[in-house]
Amino acid sequence: MKRLVLILMLLISIVNFGAAHTYDAEAMRRRMYELSDSLDEYEANKRAEKANRLVVGKFIVIGLLVDDSKFGLAYKAFVLEDSNSGIIYFYDDIEDDDVSEYMNNNHVKIDENKVDYSYPYSGGEEKLREQLRKDDHIILSRTEFNKKRGIN
């Protein structure tokens, strides 16, 4: 009789363990499906975190140098300030891959409050300047940049 009770208890515990294990797996599966809806948001946040890790460096992006020629508005360079010496540099002909590579190679520090290279540039230079100034961004035309550097 004692053996029968022990065997019965053992069987019940095995069944309970199996059921609990199955329930946990199902709960995990449901949770993964719920998370998959926000996976794109998660990936976007990871990319943003990666960008924020670039905030350990020598250069600060203080503005964008834009082409103010008759051909329209286009990025021409980041305006970079050496945080140690205060010397201002600019990096020409930037495309997205070039930006990432340059920033990684040179440990560029981005001040996100001052520059955002994801703006949609439609509506002309004046509209862009107005938008950037309103949002506390700094933008310089090539003429303004040259004046700042003492070149006429």
First to last CA, the chain: 105
For residue 129, the model assigns a pLDDT of 52
Mean pLDDT of each 10-residue bin along the chain, 152 residues long: 74 61 58 56 52 39 51 50 51 47 54 42 48 49 58 54
Residue 135: predicted pLDDT:
46
Single pTM value for the model: 0.24
Determine the pLDDT at residue 95. Answer: 47
Structure confidence at residue 103 (pLDDT): 54
Every domain of the chain and the residues it spans? 2-37, 52-148
Is residue 106 within 8 A of residue 51, CB to CB? The reply is: no
| pLDDT number for residue 149 | 54
Side-chain-side CA neighbours of residue 71 (13 Å): 5
- pLDDT value for 121: 39
Contact of 57 with 106, CB cutoff 8 Å:
yes
Distance (Å, rounded) from C-alpha 72 to C-alpha 128?
12
Give, for 77, the enclosing helix (H) or strand (E): strand 75-82
**Whether the Cβ atoms of residue 80 and residue 59 lie closer than 8 Å to each other:** yes
